[in-house]
Amino acid sequence: MEANPPFNANKDDNLINRRLILLKRKVFVFPTSKADQEFFEVRILAYLMGLDKESLSKSCWDMVWVRNNFGESSKYLYFNERTQKLYLDINFFEWAKLTCQLMNEELKLKANNDENNS
């Protein structure tokens, strides 16, 4: 079994940031997208802080449900014709996972800095 390569923060962060920029262009295409993005980021932060006890996918469903006025629209969702079901948009969920990863790393850095300053 091979060991994982060493973590290169700069390289990995640049790849994540580039991927996030590309995903933002695909996901946030609605007139209310700026407000939606801010709402999702706040909810993801609450998820990371432990205020939301559900999984990330369940939290994403709840976020989308609220932003879609409790089912009045289908933004950030994908309708599958064959199964006749709504699913989270793949690009939206990928954006949420990457945003969660970046926020988690930032929180760890902040915790380490606070610990070192104490």
Q: Is residue 39 part of a domain?
A: yes
pTM of full prediction above 0.85: no
The whole-angstrom separation of Cα 3 and Cα 74 is: 43
Q: Is residue 5 part of a domain?
A: no
Q: Is residue 109 part of a domain?
A: yes
Q: What is the pLDDT of residue 9?
A: 52
Range of the domain at 71: 32-117
Q: Is residue 15 part of a domain?
A: no
Low-confidence residues of the chain, pLDDT below 50?
Answer: 1-8
Q: Is residue 55 part of a domain?
A: yes
For residue 46, which of 99, 6, 90 has the smallest C-alpha distance?
Answer: 99
Q: What is the pLDDT of residue 32?
A: 87
Q: How many CB atoms lie within 10 A of CB 99?
A: 20
The structural domain count of the chain equals 1
Phi, psi at 86, each rounded to 5°: -95, 140
Q: What is the pLDDT of residue 4?
A: 44
Q: How many CB atoms lie within 10 A of CB 91?
A: 17
Q: What is the pLDDT of residue 113?
A: 82
Q: What is the pLDDT of residue 11?
A: 62
